[in-house]
Amino acid sequence: MKVYIVGTGYVGLVTGSCLAEMGNEVVCIDNDIKKINNLIEKGVLPIYEPGLEELVKNNINANRLSFKTSIPNDIPENSIIFIAVGTPSDDKGKANLEYVYQVAKEIGQKISSYCVIVNKSTVPVTTGDKVEEIIQKELIDRQLSITFDVVSNPEFLKEGDAIKDFNFPDRIIIGSNSEKAKDIMTQLYSPFSIRKSKLIYMARRDAEMTKYAANAMLATKISFMNEISQICDLTGVDVENVRYGIGSDKRIGFSFIYPGCGYGGSCFPKDVKALIQTSNENNFTPLVLNAVEDRNLLQKEILFNKVVQEFGKDLSHKIFSIWGLSFKPGTDDIREAPSIMTIKSILKNGGKVQVFDPVAMKSAKKEFSENELSQIKFCDSEYDSLNDADAMILITEWRQFRQPDFIKIKSILKTPLIFDGRNQYNPQYLKDNGIKYIGVGRSN
């Protein structure tokens, strides 16, 4: 099948390479000329995702995956055009749909026969209606009378596991009332739904809401558990025992009930804010979603607050070793990452930091001012970051951080103290080895 994907970010590249791997002829489009040239000439990806670089290169070499800087004029009939551009939040939390609408306009200016236009970007309810309206207006201006369908097909990809999630999906949501569009989308996704049908059909607006509701539900579980962790801290309770106790209930399960220093990334923060904004625009107060957002913002302060409890507010002449910068393991994404707020708070109060992350240090540097960067040392390894440090702070639970050499850590640190922002370590083991442990909701 002939597939066009507009946007070569996280969603676009994963979608394009996985569809190409199944034999489709895929063209990825982006108006960022430098990005496209890097992809074509050097095979350099704009993002980090395990396994993606090899997948992209293999399909380029097999002539199934190519790149362009604009939508071509010769799109064949029955082609599928994905819109996979960013929808960042504005200062009020509303999803910015400027890029989606720009792509819709260009599609209307280029297509000359029936096509299926697929909204892969995460967009508020009714966005598909507006995309359809924009394309139709361009066709009228061109005096063309051709049919097309706009479908909502939200992505459910976890950063760090995106290729696996795409190839082995829990569900594939197709939002459309057009039987022709459904048939084309069913054919496209048939290789990913062989043993058991993963396709779920619904109305376009229903599909748009499903994406937001899914992310908001997962964010709610995280914020709920983080709130429980705070209560545990105050009442002499180990939240890890509580987590195991409630997670064993099949109605609750263990997914997304791990307490820590808050969620981040490109999805949960943005989507919760957008759903809150949609509610407000419809004169409805989303009490639960507001609480989820508020708890997460407070949770991102928890590590700094624990540092202050231990060292006082004046952190002059104090150095902290930071392990992990990305919002989660397996990605270089530092958007809304708890590490950024923690580091900025330490610097603001006179401290210095020495940081290490396996892949996210380049991305993280863009988040700080020149003055802040002068107080940050980016290290070659996690152990290098411990030199002359007064304490270690674990923020991102990369695999290589999960069972470190604690005796080595103790020997390097000026003070044998670990702040565990993800509750990865055994407090009793550290205590037995002369290391003070401060976790989240572990009654420190």
**Which sequence positions are flagged as catalytic?**
267
Note whether 421 and 263 are within 8 A (CB): no
Please, where are the H alpha helices in 236-313?
239-247, 268-281, 287-299, 302-311
What is the rounded CA–CA span in Å between residue 134 and residue 129? Answer: 9
* Residues making up the chain, counted from first to last: 444
What is the rounded CA–CA span in Å between residue 342 and residue 327? Answer: 12
What is the rounded CA–CA span in Å between residue 182 and residue 326? Answer: 38
What is the rounded CA–CA span in Å between residue 81 and residue 5? Answer: 6
Tokens of residue 404, six digits: 């470190």
Phi, psi for residue 9 in degrees, rounded to 5: -85, -155
Note whether 6 and 84 are within 8 A (CB): yes
Angle, helices 302-311 vs 338-348, to 10°: value is 30
Angle, helices 98-110 vs 127-141, to 10°: value is 40
What residues contact residue 79 under an 8 Å CB cut-off, 6+ apart?
1, 2, 3, 4, 115, 116
Note whether 391 and 357 are within 8 A (CB): no
- CA torsion angle for 306, 311, 313, 314 (degrees, to 10)? -150
